[in-house]
Amino acid sequence: MDALLKVEDLHVNFKTPFGMAKVLNGVSLYIKPQEIVSLVGETGCGKSITAKSILDVLPETSIISGKISLKDKDFLSIGKKERRTLIRSRIGYIPQNPMTSLNPVFTIGEVFFDLIKWHGKEIVPWRAYRKWKRHIKEERDIAIELLKKVHLPQPEDVLSKYPTQLSGGMRQRVLIAMSMIGNREFLIADEPTTALDVTIQKGIVELIKEKVEEERLSVLYITHNLGVAKYLSNRIYVMYAGDIVEFGPSESLLRNPLHPYTQGLLNSIPKLVKTGFSGIPGRLPSYITPPEGCRFSPRCPKSMEICNNIKPPLKEVEEGHFVRCHLYGKDN
Protein backbone atom coordinates (compact mmCIF):
# COMPACT_ATOMS: atom_id res chain seq x y z
CA MET A 1 0.00 0.00 0.00
CA ASP A 2 1.37 3.38 -1.00
CA ALA A 3 0.12 6.14 1.19
CA LEU A 4 0.05 9.64 -0.23
CA LEU A 5 0.02 11.31 3.15
CA LYS A 6 1.20 9.60 6.24
CA VAL A 7 1.13 10.87 9.81
CA GLU A 8 2.98 8.73 12.32
CA ASP A 9 2.97 9.01 16.07
CA LEU A 10 2.27 12.73 16.03
CA HIS A 11 2.53 14.44 19.39
CA VAL A 12 1.66 18.10 19.78
CA ASN A 13 2.08 19.89 23.09
CA PHE A 14 1.31 23.48 23.93
CA LYS A 15 3.05 25.62 26.49
CA THR A 16 0.46 27.29 28.68
CA PRO A 17 0.75 29.31 31.89
CA PHE A 18 -0.70 26.33 33.76
CA GLY A 19 1.71 23.75 32.42
CA MET A 20 2.18 21.69 29.31
CA ALA A 21 -1.04 20.82 27.47
CA LYS A 22 -0.51 17.43 25.88
CA VAL A 23 -3.03 17.65 23.07
CA LEU A 24 -2.18 15.15 20.36
CA ASN A 25 -1.19 11.89 21.95
CA GLY A 26 0.41 9.87 19.19
CA VAL A 27 -1.88 10.35 16.20
CA SER A 28 -1.23 8.09 13.23
CA LEU A 29 -3.17 8.11 10.01
CA TYR A 30 -2.64 7.59 6.31
CA ILE A 31 -4.45 8.58 3.16
CA LYS A 32 -4.06 6.62 -0.03
CA PRO A 33 -4.15 8.30 -3.45
CA GLN A 34 -7.69 9.24 -4.52
CA GLU A 35 -9.14 8.39 -1.17
CA ILE A 36 -11.44 10.55 0.94
CA VAL A 37 -10.77 10.05 4.61
CA SER A 38 -12.88 11.66 7.32
CA LEU A 39 -11.57 12.65 10.70
CA VAL A 40 -14.54 12.75 13.06
CA GLY A 41 -14.75 13.99 16.61
CA GLU A 42 -16.29 16.60 18.85
CA THR A 43 -15.16 20.13 19.62
CA GLY A 44 -11.74 20.22 21.24
CA CYS A 45 -10.70 16.67 20.39
CA GLY A 46 -7.73 17.76 18.27
CA LYS A 47 -9.12 17.47 14.74
CA SER A 48 -8.10 20.95 13.68
CA ILE A 49 -4.76 20.67 15.47
CA THR A 50 -4.03 17.61 13.34
CA ALA A 51 -4.87 19.57 10.18
CA LYS A 52 -2.82 22.54 11.33
CA SER A 53 0.16 20.29 12.06
CA ILE A 54 0.04 18.96 8.52
CA LEU A 55 -0.26 22.49 7.11
CA ASP A 56 2.48 23.77 9.43
CA VAL A 57 0.41 26.65 10.77
CA LEU A 58 0.49 25.85 14.48
CA PRO A 59 1.13 28.74 16.87
CA GLU A 60 4.63 29.22 18.22
CA THR A 61 3.77 27.88 21.65
CA SER A 62 3.48 24.39 20.21
CA ILE A 63 5.99 21.58 20.39
CA ILE A 64 5.57 19.00 17.69
CA SER A 65 7.14 15.59 17.34
CA GLY A 66 6.49 12.60 15.13
CA LYS A 67 6.52 12.15 11.40
CA ILE A 68 4.40 13.71 8.67
CA SER A 69 5.23 12.68 5.16
CA LEU A 70 3.76 13.45 1.77
CA LYS A 71 4.84 10.90 -0.83
CA ASP A 72 7.60 9.63 1.47
CA LYS A 73 9.07 13.08 1.96
CA ASP A 74 9.24 13.78 5.67
CA PHE A 75 8.06 17.33 6.40
CA LEU A 76 9.31 17.67 9.90
CA SER A 77 12.94 16.83 9.15
CA ILE A 78 13.47 19.38 6.36
CA GLY A 79 14.07 23.11 6.72
CA LYS A 80 11.23 25.49 7.41
CA LYS A 81 11.45 27.32 4.10
CA GLU A 82 11.54 24.19 2.00
CA ARG A 83 8.74 22.69 4.06
CA ARG A 84 6.45 25.65 3.62
CA THR A 85 7.05 25.83 -0.12
CA LEU A 86 6.29 22.15 -0.39
CA ILE A 87 3.14 22.33 1.70
CA ARG A 88 1.79 25.45 0.03
CA SER A 89 2.25 24.18 -3.48
CA ARG A 90 0.98 20.66 -2.89
CA ILE A 91 -1.76 20.83 -0.28
CA GLY A 92 -5.02 22.68 -0.78
CA TYR A 93 -7.11 23.87 2.14
CA ILE A 94 -10.82 24.58 2.48
CA PRO A 95 -11.46 26.56 5.65
CA GLN A 96 -14.31 26.19 8.10
CA ASN A 97 -16.04 29.51 8.06
CA PRO A 98 -16.65 31.08 4.65
CA MET A 99 -17.84 34.27 6.35
CA THR A 100 -14.47 35.07 7.94
CA SER A 101 -12.08 33.39 5.53
CA LEU A 102 -12.23 35.99 2.77
CA ASN A 103 -10.82 39.44 3.36
CA PRO A 104 -13.76 41.86 3.06
CA VAL A 105 -11.70 44.75 1.62
CA PHE A 106 -10.59 42.88 -1.50
CA THR A 107 -12.73 41.67 -4.36
CA ILE A 108 -12.83 37.93 -5.03
CA GLY A 109 -10.78 38.59 -8.18
CA GLU A 110 -7.97 40.44 -6.41
CA VAL A 111 -7.45 37.59 -3.97
CA PHE A 112 -7.89 34.94 -6.63
CA PHE A 113 -5.35 36.39 -9.08
CA ASP A 114 -2.74 36.76 -6.34
CA LEU A 115 -3.22 33.17 -5.32
CA ILE A 116 -2.91 31.89 -8.87
CA LYS A 117 0.21 33.91 -9.64
CA TRP A 118 2.06 33.46 -6.38
CA HIS A 119 0.79 30.20 -4.95
CA GLY A 120 3.41 28.11 -3.23
CA LYS A 121 5.78 31.06 -2.87
CA GLU A 122 7.11 31.90 0.57
CA ILE A 123 7.97 35.52 -0.26
CA VAL A 124 6.42 37.67 -2.98
CA PRO A 125 8.87 40.18 -4.52
CA TRP A 126 7.19 43.57 -4.22
CA ARG A 127 8.40 45.09 -7.50
CA ALA A 128 7.51 42.09 -9.60
CA TYR A 129 4.14 42.10 -7.87
CA ARG A 130 3.36 45.71 -8.80
CA LYS A 131 4.45 45.22 -12.37
CA TRP A 132 2.38 42.09 -12.74
CA LYS A 133 -0.69 43.57 -11.10
CA ARG A 134 -1.17 46.07 -13.94
CA HIS A 135 -2.02 43.54 -16.61
CA ILE A 136 -3.62 40.36 -15.54
CA LYS A 137 -4.86 38.16 -18.32
CA GLU A 138 -3.75 34.57 -17.89
CA GLU A 139 -4.79 34.55 -14.26
CA ARG A 140 -8.24 35.80 -15.12
CA ASP A 141 -8.78 32.92 -17.52
CA ILE A 142 -7.61 30.38 -14.94
CA ALA A 143 -9.84 31.91 -12.27
CA ILE A 144 -12.89 31.83 -14.54
CA GLU A 145 -12.12 28.25 -15.44
CA LEU A 146 -11.94 27.28 -11.76
CA LEU A 147 -15.12 29.16 -10.85
CA LYS A 148 -16.94 27.34 -13.63
CA LYS A 149 -15.75 24.08 -12.17
CA VAL A 150 -17.53 24.83 -8.89
CA HIS A 151 -20.75 25.67 -10.78
CA LEU A 152 -20.88 29.36 -9.96
CA PRO A 153 -23.09 31.20 -12.44
CA GLN A 154 -21.53 34.24 -14.16
CA PRO A 155 -17.95 33.80 -12.94
CA GLU A 156 -16.86 37.15 -14.43
CA ASP A 157 -19.34 38.94 -12.18
CA VAL A 158 -18.23 36.99 -9.12
CA LEU A 159 -14.62 38.10 -9.65
CA SER A 160 -15.55 41.76 -9.39
CA LYS A 161 -17.64 41.32 -6.25
CA TYR A 162 -16.71 41.74 -2.60
CA PRO A 163 -17.20 38.79 -0.25
CA THR A 164 -20.13 40.48 1.53
CA GLN A 165 -22.04 40.56 -1.75
CA LEU A 166 -22.05 36.77 -1.94
CA SER A 167 -24.09 34.29 0.09
CA GLY A 168 -22.44 31.75 2.40
CA GLY A 169 -22.85 28.92 -0.08
CA MET A 170 -21.34 30.98 -2.90
CA ARG A 171 -18.40 32.02 -0.74
CA GLN A 172 -17.71 28.41 0.15
CA ARG A 173 -17.75 27.56 -3.56
CA VAL A 174 -15.23 30.34 -4.21
CA LEU A 175 -13.00 28.94 -1.45
CA ILE A 176 -13.24 25.45 -2.93
CA ALA A 177 -12.21 26.87 -6.31
CA MET A 178 -9.27 28.61 -4.63
CA SER A 179 -8.19 25.37 -2.96
CA MET A 180 -7.86 23.74 -6.37
CA ILE A 181 -5.36 26.26 -7.76
CA GLY A 182 -2.23 24.73 -9.23
CA ASN A 183 -3.05 21.07 -9.74
CA ARG A 184 -3.01 20.07 -6.15
CA GLU A 185 -3.35 16.41 -5.38
CA PHE A 186 -4.21 16.65 -1.73
CA LEU A 187 -6.90 18.68 0.02
CA ILE A 188 -7.61 19.33 3.66
CA ALA A 189 -11.19 20.41 4.33
CA ASP A 190 -11.78 21.66 7.86
CA GLU A 191 -15.55 21.43 8.52
CA PRO A 192 -16.41 23.34 5.33
CA THR A 193 -20.17 23.10 5.83
CA THR A 194 -20.62 23.75 9.55
CA ALA A 195 -21.63 27.37 9.03
CA LEU A 196 -24.13 26.60 6.27
CA ASP A 197 -27.77 25.54 6.11
CA VAL A 198 -28.47 21.86 5.52
CA THR A 199 -29.89 22.47 2.06
CA ILE A 200 -26.73 24.39 1.09
CA GLN A 201 -24.54 21.85 2.87
CA LYS A 202 -25.85 19.11 0.63
CA GLY A 203 -24.86 21.02 -2.51
CA ILE A 204 -21.36 21.75 -1.19
CA VAL A 205 -20.73 18.17 -0.08
CA GLU A 206 -21.87 16.87 -3.46
CA LEU A 207 -19.59 19.39 -5.18
CA ILE A 208 -16.58 18.26 -3.15
CA LYS A 209 -17.31 14.64 -4.00
CA GLU A 210 -17.68 15.45 -7.70
CA LYS A 211 -14.44 17.47 -7.84
CA VAL A 212 -12.49 14.81 -6.00
CA GLU A 213 -13.54 12.20 -8.52
CA GLU A 214 -12.97 14.49 -11.51
CA GLU A 215 -9.58 15.83 -10.46
CA ARG A 216 -8.41 12.60 -8.81
CA LEU A 217 -7.73 14.30 -5.50
CA SER A 218 -7.18 12.83 -2.06
CA VAL A 219 -8.91 14.50 0.83
CA LEU A 220 -8.67 14.66 4.58
CA TYR A 221 -12.18 15.77 5.52
CA ILE A 222 -12.59 17.04 9.04
CA THR A 223 -16.13 17.03 10.38
CA HIS A 224 -18.26 16.34 13.40
CA ASN A 225 -21.15 15.14 11.27
CA LEU A 226 -21.07 11.37 10.92
CA GLY A 227 -23.74 11.51 8.21
CA VAL A 228 -21.55 13.69 6.00
CA ALA A 229 -18.56 11.46 6.78
CA LYS A 230 -20.54 8.41 5.71
CA TYR A 231 -21.67 10.01 2.47
CA LEU A 232 -18.24 11.29 1.46
CA SER A 233 -15.54 9.03 2.69
CA ASN A 234 -14.03 5.65 2.09
CA ARG A 235 -12.62 5.45 5.58
CA ILE A 236 -13.37 7.20 8.86
CA TYR A 237 -11.05 8.00 11.75
CA VAL A 238 -12.72 8.72 15.08
CA MET A 239 -10.80 10.98 17.40
CA TYR A 240 -11.23 11.58 21.10
CA ALA A 241 -9.05 13.85 23.28
CA GLY A 242 -6.03 13.68 21.00
CA ASP A 243 -6.20 9.95 20.35
CA ILE A 244 -7.44 8.06 17.32
CA VAL A 245 -9.78 5.64 19.09
CA GLU A 246 -11.14 3.80 16.08
CA PHE A 247 -10.79 3.73 12.33
CA GLY A 248 -11.95 1.63 9.45
CA PRO A 249 -14.03 1.54 6.28
CA SER A 250 -17.04 3.85 6.66
CA GLU A 251 -19.62 1.11 6.16
CA SER A 252 -18.17 -1.27 8.70
CA LEU A 253 -17.39 1.44 11.26
CA LEU A 254 -20.92 2.84 11.28
CA ARG A 255 -22.64 -0.54 11.06
CA ASN A 256 -20.54 -2.03 13.80
CA PRO A 257 -18.99 0.68 15.98
CA LEU A 258 -16.59 -0.95 18.43
CA HIS A 259 -15.21 1.75 20.68
CA PRO A 260 -17.56 2.86 23.50
CA TYR A 261 -16.95 6.47 22.44
CA THR A 262 -18.00 5.82 18.85
CA GLN A 263 -21.06 3.97 20.15
CA GLY A 264 -21.92 6.87 22.46
CA LEU A 265 -21.48 9.38 19.65
CA LEU A 266 -23.75 7.41 17.32
CA ASN A 267 -26.41 7.06 20.01
CA SER A 268 -26.31 10.81 20.64
CA ILE A 269 -27.38 11.77 17.14
CA PRO A 270 -31.10 12.46 16.76
CA LYS A 271 -32.16 10.40 13.76
CA LEU A 272 -35.02 10.77 11.33
CA VAL A 273 -36.68 7.75 12.91
CA LYS A 274 -37.91 7.93 16.47
CA THR A 275 -35.20 6.03 18.27
CA GLY A 276 -34.43 8.44 21.08
CA PHE A 277 -30.89 9.29 22.05
CA SER A 278 -28.52 9.17 24.98
CA GLY A 279 -25.60 11.49 25.53
CA ILE A 280 -22.17 10.67 26.89
CA PRO A 281 -21.76 11.53 30.58
CA GLY A 282 -18.97 13.87 31.67
CA ARG A 283 -16.83 16.08 29.49
CA LEU A 284 -13.44 16.20 27.78
CA PRO A 285 -10.52 15.78 30.19
CA SER A 286 -8.03 18.55 30.78
CA TYR A 287 -5.10 18.30 28.39
CA ILE A 288 -2.74 19.50 31.10
CA THR A 289 -3.52 16.56 33.35
CA PRO A 290 -5.00 13.97 30.97
CA PRO A 291 -5.99 10.58 32.43
CA GLU A 292 -3.29 7.94 32.41
CA GLY A 293 -4.09 5.02 30.20
CA CYS A 294 -7.15 5.39 28.01
CA ARG A 295 -8.20 9.04 27.84
CA PHE A 296 -11.86 8.05 27.52
CA SER A 297 -11.84 5.86 30.63
CA PRO A 298 -13.31 8.45 33.08
CA ARG A 299 -16.43 8.75 30.88
CA CYS A 300 -16.56 5.18 29.65
CA PRO A 301 -19.54 3.05 30.76
CA LYS A 302 -17.47 -0.11 30.24
CA SER A 303 -14.31 1.09 31.97
CA MET A 304 -12.18 -1.57 33.67
CA GLU A 305 -9.25 -1.50 36.09
CA ILE A 306 -6.66 -1.75 33.31
CA CYS A 307 -8.11 1.23 31.40
CA ASN A 308 -6.99 3.67 34.08
CA ASN A 309 -3.36 2.66 33.83
CA ILE A 310 -2.40 1.42 30.41
CA LYS A 311 -3.10 3.06 27.07
CA PRO A 312 -4.74 0.36 24.96
CA PRO A 313 -2.97 -0.71 21.77
CA LEU A 314 -4.59 -0.65 18.35
CA LYS A 315 -6.28 -3.91 17.53
CA GLU A 316 -7.63 -5.04 14.17
CA VAL A 317 -11.07 -6.53 14.78
CA GLU A 318 -12.44 -6.70 11.25
CA GLU A 319 -10.49 -6.29 8.04
CA GLY A 320 -9.06 -2.77 8.05
CA HIS A 321 -11.20 -1.85 11.08
CA PHE A 322 -9.01 -0.98 14.04
CA VAL A 323 -9.97 -0.02 17.57
CA ARG A 324 -7.96 1.25 20.53
CA CYS A 325 -9.79 -0.32 23.47
CA HIS A 326 -9.03 -2.94 26.12
CA LEU A 327 -12.42 -4.57 25.57
CA TYR A 328 -11.03 -6.15 22.46
CA GLY A 329 -8.09 -7.94 24.06
CA LYS A 330 -6.11 -10.92 22.94
CA ASP A 331 -8.46 -13.47 24.44
CA ASN A 332 -11.82 -12.45 23.04
Partner 1 sequence: MEKIIEVKALSKHFKTKKGLTVKAVDEVDFFLEKGKTLAIVGESGSGKTTLGKTLLKIYEPTGGRIYFEGKDITNYSKDKMKELRANLQMVFQDPTSSLNPRKSIGNIISLPLKIHTRMTKKEIKEKVIWLLEQVDLSPAFYSRYPNALSGGQKQRVGIARALALNPKLIVLDEPTASLDVSVQAKILTLLEELKNRFGLSYIYITHDLGVVRNMADFTLVMYLGRVMEYASTEELFRNPLHPYTVALLSSIPTIMDEEKSTIPYEITLSGDIPSLTEIPDYCRFYSRCYKKEKECMEKEPELREMLSGHWVRCIRV
Q: What is the DSSP string of 73-112?
A: EETTTS-HHHHHHHHHHHEEEE-S-TTTSS-TTS-HHHHH
Does residue 164 interact with partner 1 by CB under 8 A? no
Long-range own/partner contacts, residues 150-158 (CB < 8 A, 24 or more apart): 150/174, 150/176, 150/177, 150/207, 150/211, 151/207, 152/177, 158/108
**Site size for partner 1, by CB under 8 A?**
42
Of the residues 15, 73, 81, 283, which one makes contact with partner 1 according to CB under 8 A? 283
Contacts of 36 (CB under 8 A, 6+ apart): 209, 212, 218, 219, 221, 232, 233, 234
Stretch that binds partner 1, among 5-13, 139-147, 177-185, 196-204 (CB under 8 A): 196-204
**Which sign does the torsion angle of CA 310, 311, 313, 319 carry?**
positive
Of the residues 56, 107, 231, 291, which one makes contact with partner 1 according to CB under 8 A? 231
Contacts of 259 (CB under 8 A, 6+ apart): 238, 245, 246, 296, 323, 324, 325
The count of other CB atoms within 10 Å of the CB of residue 172 is: 30
Positions in 236-275 near partner 1 (CB under 8 A): 254, 264-275
Stretch that binds partner 1, among 22-30, 95-103, 168-176, 316-324 (CB under 8 A): 168-176
Of the residues 8, 42, 110, 114, which one makes contact with partner 1 according to CB under 8 A? 42
Does residue 165 interact with partner 1 by CB under 8 A? no
Does residue 199 interact with partner 1 by CB under 8 A? yes
Does residue 202 interact with partner 1 by CB under 8 A? yes
Does residue 175 interact with partner 1 by CB under 8 A? no
From CA 184, how far away is CA 327, in angstroms rounded?
Answer: 41
Q: Minimal distance in Å, beta carbon 267 to partner 1?
A: 8
Q: Minimal distance in Å, beta carbon 198 to partner 1?
A: 4
Which lies closer to partner 1 via its Cβ, residue 162 or residue 231? 231
Interacting residue ranges for partner 1, rule: CB under 8 A: 42-43, 167-170, 197-203, 205-206, 224-228, 230-231, 254, 264-281, 283
